[in-house]
Amino acid sequence: MVKSGLFEGYDTGSFYDEMFSAPGQPRPHYAKLFQKLAAMAPGQFEERRRLADLSFLIQGITFTVYSDGRGTERLFPFDLIPRILPQSEWERIDRGLSQRVVALNLFLQDVYGKQSIFKDRQIPRWLVYSCPNFRREVIGVEVSRGIYTHICGIDLVRDSKSGDFYVLEDNVRTPSGISYVLENRLVMTRTLPDAFQACEVLPVNHYPAELARILRSLSPRGEDGAQIVLLTPGIHNSAYFEHSFLAQQMGIQLVEGRDLIVDGGIVYTKTIRGLKRVDVIYRRVDDEFLDPLTFRADSILGVPGLMGAYRAGNVALANAVGNGVADDKAIYSFVPTFIRYYLGEEPILKTVPTYLCANPGDLSYVLEHLAELVVKAVGESGGYGMLMGPAADRAKIEEFRERIRANPRNYIAQHVVPLSRVPSYDPSTGSVAGRHVDLRPYCLYDGEKVTIVPGGLTRVALQHDSMVVNSSQGGGSKDTWVLRGEG
């Protein structure tokens, strides 16, 4: 056995450990990193960690949490020990995600178009129409090049029992986090250059260029001279850093709703030299805030008349309006059906068995087994509106029981997937311990092929025993390395 330094006394526990196949036994694709890290003195590691933190702070790579009602800027905690995947495993994930993205896009085309899936009785119409994020207003709207799901973030987890990856949820509205993938990588190469160099890691930094290419291709007036903008809710949005980062990386204008105006069905930016036409909007504002004339009248984030311009085909939006129907957590259990129905293929990636509280049979099972299940509100994301049965107290369980009874359609339940773990540094003890992780790869779809930057965002639950990885719930992140070859 190798001398283990930083990993002295590390306990892999009863979970799948991404780094070790047995105590002190690194998996082949982690062997080089293990040698580098184990040779490091604990003080040295701590010093590198501080440098990384300082670098995030000075660059202002922060997100905003709203627990105290006024919003506080926080660092998204970054753990220096990367999550590593060998190339063969990644390629399978890549194929599975591509298949899924194409199927989700076909489903959205169908739901807002011909609706053949209802006629062929693959999914009940009422279930789709009752999604909180189903948008009647865009039925029959022809979207540019037939693309709805330009950008998807699909959350994967590795089940500790089988060691297999499962899709946990789809995010096809305005998924965020890619900026952390890119910034984590940059900080990582500066902080642990020797370890990084020892492993052959596939690059990720082509993401902004690929996204910019897709956005340009959507322009209704052709690509020459097209004005592309990124619409942000503004500085108080938790993902504001990402919006400005992506705009800068793509060389496009970052705008707020108040920078835009619609006149005669055309969208313009207000510039110091007058109005300038906008062709494509990468919007990071939710559907219901986009246009106060169509959706929420009290929205000050949107642009009055934007939906009119969109319907007329004068401006393209990415992602399309109405996508929330595809990442509804009740619809989730039908995605394998979509893959078989639209593509005639078997799903490559597994999905977690799901109880739909809308079904009376499922409902009674869920209500009887709340303490064992994870319950999720169908239209929420970011770890909000969720019950972790095994970790919850009685009061919380009873609160959810009432909520589910009051509105069964709004809830689904799943058995807890015991997430795999990656060794992570705990600054309070100065030692390394196993922490649960998920993986969110970012998929870009140009209408023909899906491009996924190798890896994605590995989110880590930094609290001991916690399985909730969302940044809003105390999670952090890790750099994700996909190796060239098997390591």
Partner 1 sequence: MLSRIAESLFWLARYIERAEDTARILDVNYHMMLEQSQQSYRLRWEPLVIMAGEEKLFHEFYSEANAENVFEFLAFRQDNPSSIVQCISKARENARTIRDRISREMWEDINGLYYTVTRFRPEDEIAAGPHRFCDLVKFGAHRFHGVTDATMPHDEGWEFLRVGWSIERAEMSARLVDVQYYNLLDALPSVGAPDNHQWMAVLRSVGAYEAYHRQYHSAIEPEKVAEMLILHPRHPRSIRFSTSEVQAGLRAISGSPAGSYANEAERLAGRVVERLRYDRVDEIFKQGLHGYLNDLLRMCGAIGDDIARTYFYYAVVA
Biggest CA-to-CA distance, the chain: 73
**CA atoms of 319 and 282, how far apart (whole Å):** 7
Nearest approach, Cβ of 263 to partner 1 (angstroms)? 6
Is position 330 an interface residue for partner 1 (rule: CB under 8 A)? Answer: no
Scanning the structure block, which residue is given the tokens 């899936």? 117
Site string for partner 1, 53-92 (x = CB under 8 A): ----xxxx--------------------------------
- Should residue 30 be labelled a site residue for partner 1 when binding is judged by CB under 8 A? no
* Residue 82 to residue 32: CA distance in whole angstroms: 12
- Tell me the closest approach of the beta carbon of residue 27 to partner 1, in angstroms: 38
Alpha-helical (H) ranges within 265-410 are 287-290, 306-311, 335-338, 360-368, 394-406
- If the CB atoms of residues 148 and 245 are measured against partner 1, the closer one turns out to be 245
312 makes contact with partner 1 (CB under 8 A)? no
- Which residues within the stretch 439-478 sit at the binding site for partner 1 (CB under 8 A)? none
Both tokens assigned to 349: 């990636």
Q: How far apart are CA 91 and CA 4, in angstroms?
A: 31
Nearer to partner 1, 268 or 445 (CB): 268
Told to check if 263 binds partner 1 by CB under 8 A, we report: yes
Residue 222 near partner 1 by CB under 8 A: no
Q: Would you state the structure tokens that stand for residue 136, as one six-digit string? A: 């009647």
Helical H segments across 59-173, by residue range: 87-111, 116-119, 125-129
- The verdict on 259 binding partner 1 (CB under 8 A) reads yes
Determine if 51 is a binding residue for partner 1 (CB under 8 A): no
CA dihedral 417, 421, 425, 430 (to 10 degrees): 90
Taking contact as CB under 8 A, which single stretch among the options 45-53, 121-129, 257-265, 463-471 is the one that binds partner 1? 257-265
Q: Is 269 in the site for partner 1 (CB under 8 A)?
A: yes
CA nearest neighbour of 155 among 444, 457, 445, 416: 457
Helix, strand, coil percentages for the chain (3-state, nearest 5): 35, 25, 40
5 touches partner 1 by CB under 8 A: no
Query: Per CB under 8 A, does 205 bind partner 1?
Result: no
Query: Which range binds partner 1 by CB under 8 A, 119-127, 140-148, 262-270, 455-463?
Result: 262-270
Interface with partner 1 (CB under 8 A), residue from 103, 106, 156, 255: 255
Strand 274-277, strand 266-271: pairing: antiparallel
For residue 270, state whether it binds partner 1 (rule: CB under 8 A).
Answer: yes
Number of residues near partner 1 (by CB under 8 A): 24
Where along the sequence are the contacts to partner 1 (CB under 8 A)?
Answer: 57-60, 234-235, 240, 244-245, 247-248, 253-256, 258-259, 261, 263, 269-273
